[in-house]
């Protein structure tokens, strides 16, 4: 049973929220649904979640911004983006944030269950995009029954908690250096081209 697993679903379409609730509550998950990113962030101030699903296109705060804020506050929490509007730009933004993957609408009960199991099994690994999140039955049973699963998740979460500031610092330091290198390279190539004998 997954009675201790807390799942938050953020989608302005109440039908989607009910679908997640119907599928996952029947499997023993504790599912909470909210209609906006603002409501989700307010809710997360007083409650911890093992997994968050967020729609990408919502009034007000979009799913990428919601994911960004969740990852800034709780980098160890897996976030999966639900979308009917998958674009390369959105996927690039989400991958930088460490989002666990995309699930594209329309959703089926099997997709919901499988992507949930996969995200909880590998909270810091990328999930396959779209509708490819299929787990073999024996893997599914192993995830449900493994006594080491909770301990492994806790260890990963603690490691990510302490590593997150250093990872962010590394990006902050590296980006200007890479930008300066590219600028210098382009300037040198332009200078060489201008001074090349004709």
Please give the mean pLDDT across all residues of the chain.
76
Mean pLDDT, residues 150-175 taken together: 70
Angle, alpha carbons 149-131-141 (nearest 5°): 30
User: Above pLDDT 70, what percent of the chain?
Assistant: 71
Torsion of CA 136, 139, 144, 149, to 10 degrees: -150
Res 100 pLDDT > 60: yes
Res 95 pLDDT > 80: no
User: Above pLDDT 90, what percent of the chain?
Assistant: 18
pLDDT value of residue 91: 67
For the entire predicted model, the pTM comes to 0.59
What tokens were used for 162? 């302490």
Greater pLDDT, 134 or 72? 72
With beta carbons less than 8 A apart as the criterion, state whether 8 and 53 touch: yes
Task: Tell me the CATH architecture of domain 6-146.
Answer: 3-Layer(aba) Sandwich (3.40)
Place of tokens 């800034």: 72
Torsion of CA 76, 65, 33, 121, to 10 degrees: -30
């Amino acid at each position: 049973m997954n009675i201790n697993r807390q799942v938050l679903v953020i989608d302005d379409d109440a039908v989607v929220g009910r679908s997640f609730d119907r599928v996952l509550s029947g499997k023993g998950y504790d599912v909470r649904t909210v209609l906006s990113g603002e409501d989700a962030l307010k809710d997360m101030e007083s409650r911890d979640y093992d997994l968050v699903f967020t729609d990408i296109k919502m009034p007000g705060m979009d799913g990428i911004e919601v994911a960004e804020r969740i990852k800034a506050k709780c980098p160890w929490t897996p976030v999966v983006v639900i979308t009917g509007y998958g674009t390369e730009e959105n996927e690039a933004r989400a991958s930088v944030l460490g989002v666990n993957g995309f699930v594209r609408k329309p959703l089926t009960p099997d997709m919901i269950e499988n992507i949930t199991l996969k995200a909880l099994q590998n909270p810091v690994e990328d999930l396959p995009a779209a509708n490819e999140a299929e787990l073999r039955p024996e893997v599914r049973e192993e995830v449900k029954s493994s006594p080491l699963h909770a301990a492994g998740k806790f260890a990963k979460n603690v490691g990510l908690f302490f590593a997150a500031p250093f990872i962010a610092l590394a990006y902050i330091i590296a980006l200007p250096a890479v930008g300066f290198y590219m600028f210098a390279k382009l300037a040198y190539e332009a200078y060489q081209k201008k001074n090349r004998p004709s």
